[in-house]
């Protein structure tokens, strides 16, 4: 996807909407009854690395982390 590169550090909103219902067309994905969270509807969760589903990227769920913010528990 445009705007991201392999190795980029991102934080993620895990709730993914269906993109078609009334809630999703108003960008209110958290109220979508047909969507669901990563780790339930989509694989992922506690993995060190994971593939972010396309709908999550299109809905703006992945946000690039500034490089000055430390990852904390991960040694760089």
Tens digit of each residue's pLDDT (9 = 90 or more) over 34-47: 988 888 877 776 77
Tens digit of each residue's pLDDT (9 = 90 or more) over 6-36: 888 888 888 899 989 999 999 998 899 998 8
More confident residue, 75 or 21: 21
On whether the pTM is more than 0.85, the answer is: no
Q: Which of 2-6, 23-27, 44-48, 64-68 has the highest mean pLDDT?
A: 23-27
Domain ranges of the chain: 10-64
Rounded distance between C-alpha atoms, residue 2 and residue 40, angstroms:
26
Q: Which residues contact 44 (CB under 8 A, 6 or more apart)?
A: 14, 38, 50, 51, 52
Flag whether pLDDT at 59 surpasses 70: yes
């Amino acid at each position: 996807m445009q705007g991201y590169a392999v190795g980029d550090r991102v934080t993620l909103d895990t709730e993914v909407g269906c993109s078609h219902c009334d809630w999703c067309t108003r960008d209110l994905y958290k109220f979508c009854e047909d969507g669901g969270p990563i780790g339930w509807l989509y694989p992922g969760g506690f993995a060190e690395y994971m593939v972010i589903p396309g709908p999550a990227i299109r809905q703006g769920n992945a946000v690039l982390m500034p490089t000055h913010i430390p990852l904390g528990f991960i040694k760089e």
